[in-house]
Structure 1
Amino acid sequence: MGDLANAKNGLNIFLNPLYYGKINDNLKKQIVKVETTKDSAYFERIENEITDELNKRLSGVLEDYAEIKGHVSSFQSLHGTISLNKASSLDMVHGKWATHDDYIADWLSGLKDSIESGRPSMMQKIFKIQRIREYVLLFLERDFYRHYKVRTKDKPQENLWSIWFGSETLFWGLLISPRLIEDNWENKPGRIRKVEFGYWTIGHVLKTGLVDPENNTIYKFRDLNDFLIFYESILKRVSNSIYEKQIFAFYVDYIRKSQNPLLEPLLIPEFRYEGIKQKHKYRLDFTILNCHTGERIGFELSPQSTHMAISGIKSKTQTELNKDLALKWGREMQKRNEYFQQYGITIMTFTDDNLIDMKNCFKAMEYYLSKRKADRQSVDELIQDIISIK
């Protein structure tokens, strides 16, 4: 067998990963359409066409597989080998993949790491055979579309399913799938991973609205402009800080200029540590929960006049002043530590020197707002790396 001989001689076999053999142009066009429309009928059609292609290839693939194993093997054995490697190469609990190429690239990265660690692998042997390799990649592509919603949606930690923000008396809730049960707001079970929006984005807000806990209603927005008016006319006006008001204005301008405003993370004002409780320990001036990168960043605008001021300074000794400053510093550090422990939020602080240039402060926020997941190593590069490992 030519392919097997090539593999035994250590020769590399190149496969174009965007083609995966003989998938026709119509199917590729449908894939693009599916990734745009996310319509279940298209998913089923793609899955069926890939299954037909897998069935056409199966007999030849099993011949190659049997030669490597030294005995005739069933397709269940082959699929078991693929699935076992899938389970060890991919984080199926927390993993999120935007496209089937991303999904396959992560699988290939896991296989490459496993091989380079020296662990023996049947997959390494069979992956060098072109017919099997094409089959494996098609199998993974089908698996991605068969479980599309699960593969493309990650699940946030439970205490972020409902976030509450605002002042002590006027605050709002952003839930993933809100419902009111016996005067308590909660998320609908089973809906967390099935929603069509990115968590904590502008699109999220427009889809679910904001919970008004005082009136037990959901405040809905007609469109993006309606929300931005609310952001400036309600949320901005509630703030007593001249610095915060500038950040609100910068953010609205940032969203209006965005090419994909619905995908932009919400810049959350006054994120409440203890949620819906009216009396609570802490609030963060601004918070970004970036669903694209998984980063959680809080921002504190901390002029000395409000955060480290000491009353009665003229009547106190240096020792007393130092003690008061130490207490204030301790509370600030405790706040940072508890936000990190509870929510995984890291806090960046702008002091008086920073607050002189508020535009520059917002640039730091914009960096985290605009961040997106880094590009993975391409599928074709990973394939070449794997089949070249001796």
Structure 2
Amino acid sequence: MAKRNPETTARNKIINELTAQLQEIHDEVLKATGFDSVHSLHGKIGGKFDQFIDIKNEVISSPEHFISLWLEGYKKNLIDRGAYAENSNLYETYKLLQKYTIFKDYLFIFLKRVYLRNYEALSKKRPLIEDAEIYIGQNNANYGILITPRFANGSWENDKSEIRHFKKQYWSIGHILETGFIIPSKNDKMTFKDIPDYLNFFVNVIVRNSGSKYEMEIAEHYREFVLNHERPENIPLLIPEFRYEGIDVIHKYRLDYTIIEPNDLNKIGFELSPWSTHGQLNGTKGMTQAEINEKAKSNFEKEMTKHKNYFKKHAIFSMIYTDEELKDTKNIFNDMKKYLEPKTSTTQLKLHIFDDFFKNDVTKK
């Protein structure tokens, strides 16, 4: 049985407490405001939050952040109405909120509950549509990772309308358990029954196919890390063989490993560059020193172009490890672990809106 998410449990407990608080004061609020039912009351304060907040693009970090955005959107809506603002139902509710403290208290509790009920959708940064699918692996053994995959007209695509509602952390272990790998141009998937099943495929099929002993060692470090973690589903994927040109069979580059951080969606690449495959020159017999130097220069420029193109197209910063560092892949994995633990993002709240909204008539400015 999957381990219960303690954050979800705690959040549900708070939601229940907020519901109890609303029930305790809703009769008093109805009496003060003159609304005839709780349904009518909630229609006035809860039916338009997506009108006041750009929920498709905002990443909302806390209930306070949500409330401040709601108030700011409400204020802007009134101001934009100009001379007609005072004739609107919106203005009528606004004046009731200014007049009755109990109604303001009810609003804050209600909006806090709205936020917590929609926490997963509101608090996550959503990837751009063009970044919502990635492809990995060797030629003829490549796989796709989408967020809301569906097969239509002979190919895979994301259901764009559902990306925001995806409940798992994007590009995490939980993500791959939810979606599996899609098989390009074929209505088929590679799915996994549990975390050990996925990790076995990750190590012994995808990474093993690369033929790199260094990639294999790091894959084993990752498997051990995930299996011993308290919250394994939230760990970002260690993405092997990220394909620079996407699904195209003919492509220029692959990164050995990539991590996409769950909160801000930053991409960090890890390139393992032993001299034997990335620097050593073969076929130099009979070449002049100048020709050898020119060949070495060409190889170096090719390698640097690879990393620059990854950064320009995908905003992937790559960390490069050479022979001396590759002697101990555990140290390399320790670098990776810095990006495998989710970070808490913070957003500066516009706290002034709280006082401004309730103390001054915004339509008079």
Question: What is the TM-score when the length of structure 2 is the normalising length?
Answer: 0.71
* Secondary structure class of the residue paired with 1:165: strand
Q: Give how far 1:252 is off.
A: 0.4
* Secondary structure class of the residue paired with 1:265: coil
Identity of aligned residues (%): 32
- Residues 94 and 348 of structure 1: CA distance in aligned 2, closer, same or farther (over 3 Å): farther
Q: Give how far 1:314 is off.
A: 4.4
Match of 2:233 in 1: 262
Q: Give how far 1:312 is off.
A: 3.1
Match status 1:229 vs 2:229 = no
Match of 1:17 in 2: none
CA RMSD after TM alignment: 4.3
What per-residue deviation string (whole Å, max 9, x for no partner) do you get for residues 296-339 of structure 1? 10110011221123333343334333332332222222222222
Match status 1:35 vs 2:11 = yes
CA distance in 1, matches of 2:209, 2:288: 38
CA distance in 1, matches of 2:129, 2:55: 18
CA distance in 2, matches of 1:261, 1:255: 5
Match status 1:300 vs 2:267 = no
CA distance in 1, matches of 2:12, 2:296: 56
* Secondary structure class of the residue paired with 1:213: coil
- Residues 322 and 107 of structure 1: CA distance in aligned 2, closer, same or farther (over 3 Å): farther
What per-residue deviation string (whole Å, max 9, x for no partner) do you get for residues 199-239 of structure 1? 11111111111112375311111111211221222123212
Q: How does 1:159-170 map to 2 (within 5 A)?
A: 159-170=130-141
* Secondary structure class of the residue paired with 2:339: helix
1:352 to 323, 333, 337: 323
Match of 1:181 in 2: 152
Determine if contact 1:300/1:348 at 8 Å carries over to the other structure: yes
Match of 2:81 in 1: none
Q: Give how far 1:56 is off.
A: 4.1
Q: Give how far 1:291 is off.
A: 1.2
Match status 1:96 vs 2:34 = no
* Secondary structure class of the residue paired with 2:298: helix
Q: Give how far 1:254 is off.
A: 0.6
CA distance in 2, matches of 1:295, 1:268: 13
Match of 1:332 in 2: 303
Match of 1:12 in 2: none
Q: Give how far 1:131 is off.
A: 6.9
Match of 1:191 in 2: 162
Match of 1:280 in 2: 251
Q: Give how far 1:150 is off.
A: 3.5
CA distance in 1, matches of 2:276, 2:103: 69
Match status 1:364 vs 2:335 = yes
Determine if contact 2:256/2:272 at 8 Å carries over to the other structure: yes
* Secondary structure class of the residue paired with 2:163: coil
CA distance in 1, matches of 2:256, 2:165: 31
- Residues 364 and 54 of structure 1: CA distance in aligned 2, closer, same or farther (over 3 Å): farther
1:144 to 110, 115, 124: 115
Match of 2:190 in 1: 219
* Secondary structure class of the residue paired with 2:121: helix
Q: Give how far 1:293 is off.
A: 3.8
Letter in 2 for 1:300: E
* Secondary structure class of the residue paired with 2:164: coil
Q: How does 1:60-139 map to 2 (within 5 A)?
A: 92-97=55-60, 102-105=62-65, 134=105, 137-138=108-109
CA distance in 1, matches of 2:205, 2:185: 16
CA distance in 2, matches of 1:110, 1:323: 62
Q: Give how far 1:290 is off.
A: 1.4
Q: Give how far 1:369 is off.
A: 1.0
Determine if contact 1:159/1:343 at 8 Å carries over to the other structure: no
CA distance in 1, matches of 2:315, 2:238: 17
Mean CA deviation greater in 188-197 or 315-324? 315-324
Structure 2 alignment gaps of length 5 or more: 1-6, 34-40, 72-96, 356-365
Mean CA deviation greater in 351-360 or 334-343? 334-343
Letter in 1 for 2:109: L
Match of 2:362 in 1: none
CA distance in 2, matches of 1:97, 1:172: 32
Letter in 2 for 1:95: E
Mean CA deviation greater in 201-210 or 309-318? 309-318
Determine if contact 2:155/2:186 at 8 Å carries over to the other structure: no
CA distance in 2, matches of 1:318, 1:58: 90
Q: Give how far 1:162 is off.
A: 1.5
Match of 2:284 in 1: 313
CA distance in 2, matches of 1:359, 1:34: 36
CA distance in 1, matches of 2:226, 2:315: 25
Mean CA deviation greater in 319-328 or 297-306? 319-328
The total of aligned residue pairs comes to 317
Determine if contact 2:207/2:219 at 8 Å carries over to the other structure: yes
CA distance in 1, matches of 2:317, 2:30: 51
Letter in 2 for 1:35: R
* Secondary structure class of the residue paired with 1:222: coil
